[in-house]
Amino acid sequence: MRITGITATPVEVPRLARFLPKTAHGSVAASRYVVLEVECGPGRVGLGEITCDPLWNGEEALETSRLLRGRLGDALIGADPLQWADVSARIDRVVSNRPFLRAAVEMACLDVAGRQFGVAAHAFLGGTYRTRVTTKLVLPARDVETVRAMAADAAGLGATTLKVKVGLGLEEDLARVAAVRSVAGPDIRITVDANEGWTPEEAATAFLRLAALGVVAVEQPLPRKSAASSAALLRSTPMAVIGDESIWTATDVVEAARHRSFDTVNLYPGKCGGLRRTIRMAHLARTLGLSVSFGSNLELGIGAAAMAHTAAATKDLSRRVPSDLIGPLYFEATMVENARFVGWRSATVPTGAGLGVRLDRGSLDAYRIAEGAV
């Protein structure tokens, strides 16, 4: 097979009001993505998805789509999607520091190869260790009563773990978590995510009170590059301390282990720059004594499918900290015909060839960003 064409479509999809996100990084009512189609001859197309958030990952939707339709797309024409080393080198000759774009190209290559040979994408990643991934539902850092109602809703939907966003003010953070515990009861696990929002002093206070509320894990309590302070927090608590914004590369994993700043790392294809890189980083983390969970940028259907295949091919995932394979639940459209593989308490690996999902062209057209839009 050879790549014969590249199509990149930028889309903006509104978030559902039911669990409208808000974090220490801010709040948005809609998110932007680029849906990638890699063609390898008539009728042979692989799908990829790029999360575009300039403030989070520096990748902007319209500029990314133009890049794929121009210089980068030209560089990929003629490549064999099964020869990832060559495809990766072609990407490197044109761009750098674009992990979500790189991951999307790899998704599409695995998808088209899987469709060609009639096998699931995880077959090219070493096979599967699981077909189901336990997940947690994320609740935003909104006012206490709103989040209390959301937690009751989530419990009614069958969620078994809830992640509460914090980091916007210590007392309100703690009140929010206490409200979630009051409606979740003792049987639902709770984790929190500060998104770098606390100072070391705030975090030290929060850790004592969160442990008393039965919280099992705290994600990214401090700004990245706070290794010594994070290590001190880890030594002080029975809760898991998870690195997310601090963990992008294999070097970051090594540094987390060296400083003992976290005992768990959040990995996922977009942030790590690909499915294979994520699996390698997960193996490295476990070798260094760290647990692994899958984080998220709230992927749509294609990205969620790619994450599911990656999780399937990752040998060891944390049993204490469920993964964030939940993105399709938060949007009014997912860009695929069927995203029901993502549920309220777990996600299954899509069956079928490639990534196991099919593009919803009606949604693609409905949510397309017009060229020239801001």
What digits encode the pLDDT tens for the residues 311-340?
A: 999 999 999 999 999 999 999 999 999 999
Q: Is there a single domain that holds both residue 249 and residue 331?
A: yes
Structure confidence by residue, pLDDT tens digits, 4-25: 999 999 999 999 988 887 787 7
Report d(CA 338, CA 335) in Å as an integer. Answer: 9
Indicate whether 250 and 131 sit together in one domain: yes
Instruction: Tell me what the mean pLDDT of segment 241-249 comes to.
Output: 97
Q: Minimal CA–CA distance to 224: which of 209, 241, 243, 240?
A: 243
Q: Which of 176, 162, 245, 244 is nearest to 206 (CA)?
A: 176
Q: Is residue 214 part of a domain?
A: yes
Q: How does pLDDT run across 32-75, given as a tens digit for each residue? A: 999 999 999 999 999 999 999 998 888 999 999 999 999 999 99
Q: Is residue 305 part of a domain?
A: yes
Q: CATH number, domain at 103?
A: 3.30.390.10
Rounded to two decimals, the pTM is 0.96
Regarding whether 158 and 57 lie in a shared domain, the answer is no
Class of residue 323 by CB neighbours under 10 A (exposed 0-12, middle 13-18, buried 19+)? buried
List CB contacts of 197: < 8 A, sequence separation 6 or more. 23, 24, 166, 167, 168
Statement to judge: residues 230 and 271 lie in one domain: yes
Q: Is 274 found in the same domain as 181? A: yes
- What's the pLDDT at 20? 84
Are 110 and 130 in a shared domain?
no
Same structural domain, 31 and 179 = no
Structure tokens at 194: 């500060």
Quote the CA–CA distance of 141 and 146 in Å, as a whole number: 9
Residue 59: give the domain boundaries.
Answer: 5-119+359-366
Element (H or E) spanning 106, and its range? helix 99-117
Residue 261 resides in a domain: yes
140 has pLDDT over 80: yes
In a domain, 268, yes or no: yes
Question: What does the DSSP assignment read for 154-167?
Answer: HHHHT-SEEEEE--
Give tens-digit pLDDT for 256-304.
999 999 999 999 999 999 999 999 999 999 999 999 999 999 999 999 9
Residues 268 and 157 in one domain: yes
Do 129 and 111 lie in one domain? The reply is: no
Distance CA 220, CA 270 (A): 18
Position 85 pLDDT exceeds 90: yes
Confirm whether 183 is domain-assigned.
yes
What is the arithmetic mean of pLDDT over 196-208? 97
Cβ-count burial of 22 within 10 angstroms (0-12 exposed, 13-18 middle, 19+ buried)?
A: middle
Burial of 69 per CB tally in 10 Å (0-12, 13-18, 19+): middle
**CATH number of 312's domain:** 3.20.20.120
Residues 115 and 140 in one domain: no
Written as six digits, the tokens of 325 are 């394979």
| Helix, strand, or coil (residue 355) | coil
Domain total of the chain: 2
Does residue 325 form part of some domain? yes
For residue 372, tell me if it sits in a domain.
no
DSSP H/E element including 242: strand 240-243
Q: Please state, rounded to an integer, the average pLDDT across all residues of the chain.
A: 96
- Same domain (yes/no): 84, 14: yes
- 87: number of Cβ within 10 Å: 22
Per DSSP, the residues of 288-320 read: TT-EEEE--S---HHHHHHHHHHHHT-S---SS
**Tokens standing for residue 105:** 């190209």
Same domain for 198 and 294? yes
| 23 in Cβ contact with 193 (< 8 Å) | yes
Look up residue 150 and give its two tokens.
């959301």
For the stretch 41-53, pLDDT in tens is 999 999 999 999 9
Count of positions (residues) in the chain: 374
Write the pLDDT tens digit of every residue in 147-195: 999 999 999 999 999 999 999 999 999 999 999 999 999 999 999 999 9
pLDDT score, position 205: 97
Note whether residue 371 is domain-resident: no
At 371, the pLDDT band (50, 70, 90 cuts) reads confident
Confidence of residue 374 (pLDDT cuts 50, 70, 90): low
